[in-house]
Amino acid sequence: MADIVNLRQARKQKARAEKGRLAEQNRTLHGRSKAERERDRLIAEKAETFVAGHRREASGDPDSPSIGPKSAPRFSDKSDA
């Protein structure tokens, strides 16, 4: 006697297998190698270091304007009038 097969489950299992095969194919076509990822990470790290090195520091003088988003005026969408 043959095994009973739920056709709905078999169809879904077949679709999952096809989707997995397609995903594997896309990973090989469009994926990045470890060397490419490392190169991009180093470039981003170097850019961040450059920006951090040129960032202005707040002085201890209370008369000088403060630097950064804390000193920016806060606006709301609601009108006060």
**Overall residue count recorded for the chain in this entry:** 81
| Span 28-43, pLDDT tens digits | 999 999 999 999 999 9
Q: Report, as ranges of residue numbers, the positions in the chain whose pLDDT lies below 50.
A: none
User: Rounded CA gap, 34 and 57, in Å?
Assistant: 37
The answer to whether the pTM exceeds 0.75 is no
Domain boundaries, the chain: 11-47
**Which residues are CB-neighbours of 40 under 8 A, at least 6 positions away?**
32
DSSP-derived letter for residue 5 is: -
Dihedral sign computed on CA atoms, order 2, 3, 9, 13: negative
**Radius of gyration of the CA atoms of the chain, in A:** 29
